[in-house]
Amino acid sequence: MNGSRPLVEVVRLGQVSYQEALRLQQVYVNRHKSGPAHALLLCQHPPVYTTGIRHKPYPAHLLDRLRLLGADVHRTNRGGLITFHGPGQLVCYPVLNLSCFKKSVRWYVCELEKTIISLCSRFGLEASTSPHTGVWVGDNKICAIGIHCGRYVTSHGLALNCNTDMSWFSHIVPCGIEGKGVTSLSAELQRDVSVEETIPHLLDAFRDQFNCQLTDGRTADDRQRRN
Amino acid sequence: MAMRAVLRCLSANFSPGLPQLSPAARLTATRPPWRSCSPRTLSTTSALSTALKFTEKHEWVRVEGGIGTVGISSYAQEALGDVVYCGLPEVGQSLEQMEEFGALESVKAASELYSPLTGEVTEINTELAENPGLVNKACYAEGWLIKMTIGKPEELDGLMDQPAYDKFLKSLEE
């Protein structure tokens, strides 16, 4: 184990399309080719349904029906089944090189779950894990997780419902798990909890759980100025 | 030495009971399977099969009759967690050494697989569609992933044998 804690750059993207976030993740993944360059991308997406590497459960006609609802639809190379991203949901994409942490995706996913559980407890909310990956409050999932790992570099990540419009989830079986529901920080705490309010708590929890240092990287404004 | 280590690894992947041999060893062993093979018997099989070779990405390859069987090591399946899906290539697909050829999904994580050698895919393990957990339960035997031709035999020399791989694993723990 190295003496110093790994440095992770926090990149606040604001509201970006799913496609743009994929493109940006790839930029940060590629940076790792010339040495450790960990980043934590934070964003929200316009309404979008995404699926993972298991294609069979989601034939084209099913995805077309979801498009009729006014959402974007994307197949991805992450693990996990179908989920929804939209305004009011804090989406976090850690692009880490696990060589600088622990070379195990099982460990990594577990650490992400613990990070969210810790975040929830900072809000006075008791969350837990289950045999199904993700973070749960009782029988309802508050945070979905789905990641990709190539040459120890991670992409995709987690999606925490802050004040998401939960009705979008009613059109799918979230993560393919029948009989369970979804929830959000706002629903559980019976008050409006925004993404903006949640971000500092996520960063604190992440820093503690992964025992790393965080620095502020690019923001959405920087990106616009550059373009 | 290498073969004893292979047998040890194979037996570690099976539930308590008799250690089982790979198909090649079964064909060539002159003794019943529950007795360990003599080194002399095994050395005569080297023309037909080789012991496992490993990559730094924790894949193994075993060559028999010019065909390489590929899988992931016990260390790798442990680091993944329970495999729920195997994304494998098509038969006939050409692979370069180190090229990504598929992915395994576990705990909502899709982890890429890298070809240990250059060659062409001749067979994929269709058992894994119904039973992806074989990758965890029997990573050196029934949990094999693909079989491929050996386009560049010299690449095998660059891979680690069992003792070298064991040493490599120890270095990772430090």
Question: Each residue of B65-116: pLDDT tens digit?
Answer: 999 999 999 999 999 999 999 999 999 999 999 999 999 999 999 999 999 9
Q: Which positions in chain A touch B106 (Cβ < 8 Å)?
A: 79, 105-106
Least confident of A32-41, A113-122, A153-162: A32-41
Choose from B75, B98, B107 for mutation: most chain A CBs within 10 A: B107
Is A109 within 8 Å of B81 when comparing Cβ atoms?
A: yes
Instruction: Provide the percentage of residues in chain A whose pLDDT is more than 90.
Output: 86
Number of other residues whose CB lies within 10 A of the CB of residue B27: 12
pLDDT of residue A163: 97
Q: What is the mean pLDDT of residues B122-127?
A: 98
Return the bridge partners of A50, or none.
A74, A83
Is B109 within 8 Å of A148 when comparing Cβ atoms?
A: yes
Residues of A assigned a catalytic role: 175
Choose from B108, B170, B172 for mutation: most chain A CBs within 10 A: B108
Greater confidence (B36 vs B64) lies with B64
Q: Is A157 annotated as a binding residue?
A: yes
Residue B14's contacts (CB-CB under 8 Å, 6 or more residues apart) are: B20, B138, B141
Return the bridge partners of A38, or none.
A8
Q: Band of the pLDDT at B49, cuts 50, 70, 90?
A: low
In angstroms, the separation between the Cα of residue A191 and the nearest Cα of chain B is 31
pLDDT of residue A25: 97
Q: What is the mean pLDDT of residues B14-22?
A: 42
Q: Which positions in chain A touch B81 (Cβ < 8 Å)?
A: 105-106, 109
Q: Is A78 annotated as a binding residue?
A: yes
pLDDT above 70 (res B30): no
Residue with tokens 């064991």: B166
CA atoms within a 13 Å half-sphere pointing along the CA-CB vector of A109: 31
pLDDT above 70 (res B152): yes
Report how many Cβ contacts below 8 Å link chain A to chain B.
Answer: 73
Assign B140 to helix, strand or coil: coil
Greater confidence (B48 vs A222) lies with A222
Does residue B129 belong to the interface with chain A, where contact is any CB pair within 8 Å? no
In angstroms, the separation between the Cα of residue A155 and the nearest Cα of chain B is 10
The DSSP result for A108-170, as a single string, is HHHHHHHHHHHHHHHTT---B--SSSSEEETTEEEEEEEEEEETTEEEEEEEEESS--GGGGG
What whole-number distance in Å separates Cα of residue B131 and Cα of residue A102?
Answer: 28
Residue with tokens 């973070």: A135
Least confident of A73-82, A168-177, B147-156: A168-177
pLDDT of residue B161: 95
Return the bridge partners of B160, or none.
B54
Greater confidence (B41 vs B124) lies with B124
The DSSP result for B78-129, as a single string, is HHH-SEEEEE---TT-EE-TT-EEEEEEETTEEEEEE-SSSEEEEEE-THHH
Q: Is A38 annotated as a binding residue?
A: no
Is B108 within 8 Å of A104 when comparing Cβ atoms?
A: no
Using an 8 Å Cβ cutoff, are A184 and A162 in contact? yes
Q: Which positions in chain A touch B109 (Cβ < 8 Å)?
A: 78-79, 105-106, 108-109, 146-149
Greater confidence (A126 vs B51) lies with A126
pTM for the full predicted model = 0.84
Q: Band of the pLDDT at B21, cuts 50, 70, 90?
A: very low
Partner-chain residue, chosen from B87, B111, B172, that has the shortest CB–CB distance to A105 = B111
- Restricting to B residues 38-67, those with a Cβ less than 8 Å away from any Cβ of A are 57
| Encoded amino acid at A139, one letter | D
pLDDT of residue A221: 55
Domain A7-226, CATH: 3.30.930.10
- Restricting to B residues 99-118, those with a Cβ less than 8 Å away from any Cβ of A are 100, 103, 105-112, 114
Q: Is A160 annotated as a binding residue?
A: no
In angstroms, the separation between the Cα of residue B2 and the nearest Cα of chain A is 26
